[in-house]
Structure 1
Amino acid sequence: MDTSFRFIKEGVDGGRAALVHCQAGRSRSATIVTAYLMKRYKLGFTEAYHRLKSLKPDVQVNSGFEEQLCLYEAMQCEVDTSSPLYKQYRLTKITEKYPELQKVPREVFAVDPAHSSSSEASYRCRKCSRTLFRGSSILSHLVGEGASAFSHKKASNLTGEVQCTSYFIEPVQWMEQALLGVMDGQLLCPKCNCKLGSFSWCGDQCSCGRWVTPAFQLHHNRVDKIWQLNIMK
């Protein structure tokens, strides 16, 4: 989208034209033009797509591209691969193909923070202090409906409290071996082997009631959050 935007803008700003085409001229090319309109004129997906259809009524963006354009809008028309929204979308797409995938693509895994330095907050194993992930790896979700989301369970198990007791994160490099060829399992500390949480490509329910797919969750009571302080002399 970024490359095509620059190409179209260069042509239009130079008083020329840009040809955007695909096999049928209805979906792929329409997606690119819609993205251009969104970014150039600061439009939402719905308005930009409506304007395009008013000029070319036969365009029909497929549901997958529509989903990407809505994501593009949510990211302020920037393809930001570091955005939690982008990471969650990418994981969801991989889930649709799993377990047919022979292995999880390497680019999905965040760099192991134990082997790199950063000024952002880190999260460590409470038992052995091994660094597990950084704040940028957390994939936040809307808080669920609490006890009412667990109505299928016995009433005696419902507390009525709405809170998240786990961090849902993107996969980190130290998890790679645990994820190979299985749909779900435990997540253990790579240093002391202490149980930290679990993962499921089919998703899991947060303590707040929200369903998260896929789910890579580490429990709050198994990790410590660490900040780095810059002390001036």
Structure 2
Amino acid sequence: MPLDRIPGEDNLYIGSAFVVSQDKLLDSHNISHILSVLQYTNKEKADIAAQPHSRPRTRIFVDVDDVEEEDLLVHFPRIVRFIEFGLKSGNKEDADKDIEERKGAVYVHCAMGKSRSATAVIAYLMWKHPEKFRSAEAESDDSSAPRKGSQKYPPAVAEDALRRALALVREARPLVEPNPGFMRQLVMWWRMGCPADSPDAVERRPAYQRWLYEKDVEESTRIGRAPGRLWFGDEVEASKARDAAAAEDEIEEAEEEKPVKPGQNYQLRCKVCRRVLAGQNFVVPHEPPEIVEGHPPPAACNHHFVEPLSWMRPVLEEGALEGRLVCPNTRCNAQVGRYSWQGFKCTCRAWVCPAFSLQPSRVDRIMVNNAAADGANSNPYNIRSPPGQSKV
């Protein structure tokens, strides 16, 4: 029942649950703090606290199962702060020992020391030593120099960082293998900039909120019901705009960024009243299936798929799986499209799920300058443009 030490200067160990009851083994490695990343019942925790030990140790529990759907990401700030505290605080009761023996030592475990504990250790390493895992792509760009809580990396860099961190942990414990769900969460953690400045640092990130929404949509549609959680992309944008200081540090996933060249931005507006329904940054791209020889080519797209937006709230809160989308202008109420949480197929044969479609026959695609698209509506009174003029 070994304790495997992570390579580096810190006394950070990883292993299984079988070790935590072996006081002599823990003492031999000067373990001062224990992080248990697995499900314990309240009775089991009480029994653990009542057991006599050869020396006091600080221990916390992160109650999660080893399944892909489990949300371990939300616990990362607490995990990395505890490990850092344990490594720095040391064994203060051992004042008679030399400096090396008084250094803190943290043991991280799950059931088998394979998935959950490995995920926790990797999350810590990525937060503590980002410079070790940056790829050559990031190192070649001075602007991407790491800064805890705010660095941003492209998807390829994030995945490469995870591979490097995983390889380092496997040097200590070759059997470690975080489940695929935890691997995706570690990629998100890196792209967010490993935020751990507060216990709710991850919860406040739009990328995390969107991920929760997508999880809820997937789970809900699987059982044939509308999701209980609603997420609106434009509300996130509005919140960031209201707080410029927070927006400066707000990190979104790289693939969510949709840079638009000057003069190429557009809005989707109701044909009847000219109400702006969606900007280009909220349009969901989709790709038609590949052309198969002997089959007719896909038809042109007859849908503008968009993210769920706040003006859809009244109809979505009704809890139906599908329905119509109407213009939010109460003086108009024209039907502008339809939605389905379970998705549907575009005329180009691409499947989109969930699907929020604005129909080209009911909305206009209006070219606008970037200032009008990013800021307030340049036509606040919804005055219809003269015939033949599409620019606002």
TM-score under structure 1 length normalisation: 0.65
Aligned equivalents of 1:160, 1:167: Cα separation in 2: 16
Identify the match of residue 312 of structure 2 among 166, 175, 185.
175
Identify the match of residue 31 of structure 1 among 81, 105, 119.
119
3-state secondary structure, aligned to 2:268: strand
Match of 1:133 in 2: 278
CA contact (8 A) 2:86 2:105 kept: yes
Match of 1:218 in 2: 358
Aligned equivalents of 2:194, 2:359: Cα separation in 1: 34
Distance 1:127 1:111, change over 3 A: same
Cα offsets for 1:22-45 (capped at 9, x unmatched):
566433332233344456122443
Aligned equivalents of 1:182, 1:208: Cα separation in 2: 26
In the alignment, does 2:179 pair up with 1:62? Answer: yes
In the alignment, does 2:228 pair up with 1:104? Answer: yes
Match of 1:188 in 2: 326
Aligned equivalents of 1:165, 1:76: Cα separation in 2: 39
Higher relative contact order (CA 8 A, sep 6+): 1
Aligned equivalents of 2:125, 2:277: Cα separation in 1: 41
CA contact (8 A) 2:232 2:309 kept: yes
In the alignment, does 2:156 pair up with 1:50? Answer: no
Match of 1:145 in 2: 289
Cα offsets for 1:103-156 (capped at 9, x unmatched):
6324x123469x99x7x9653222212222334433334x2325549x9xxx6x
Cα offsets for 1:20-74 (capped at 9, x unmatched):
4556643333223334445612244334323323322343322322232344567
CA contact (8 A) 2:226 2:341 kept: no
Distance 1:86 1:167, change over 3 A: farther
Counterparts of 1:69-88 in structure 2, within 5 Å, are 69-72=186-189, 81-82=205-206, 87=210
Aligned equivalents of 1:17, 1:165: Cα separation in 2: 61
3-state secondary structure, aligned to 2:216: helix
Distance 1:111 1:16, change over 3 A: same
Aligned equivalents of 1:195, 1:215: Cα separation in 2: 16
**Segment of structure 1 superposing worse, 215-224 or 67-76:** 67-76
Identity of aligned residues (%): 31
Distance 1:63 1:164, change over 3 A: same
Aligned equivalents of 1:91, 1:215: Cα separation in 2: 14
3-state secondary structure, aligned to 2:233: coil
Distance 1:140 1:7, change over 3 A: farther
Counterparts of 1:113-132 in structure 2, within 5 Å, are 122-132=267-277
Identify the match of residue 206 of structure 1 among 346, 349, 365.
346
Distance 1:50 1:132, change over 3 A: same
Aligned equivalents of 2:279, 2:108: Cα separation in 1: 41
| Count of aligned pairs between the two proteins | 218
CA contact (8 A) 2:312 2:325 kept: yes
Aligned equivalents of 1:94, 1:134: Cα separation in 2: 25
Distance 1:173 1:64, change over 3 A: same
Aligned equivalents of 2:82, 2:276: Cα separation in 1: 43
Distance 1:109 1:86, change over 3 A: closer
Aligned equivalents of 1:212, 1:77: Cα separation in 2: 31
3-state secondary structure, aligned to 1:98: helix
Counterpart of 2:282, as a letter, is S
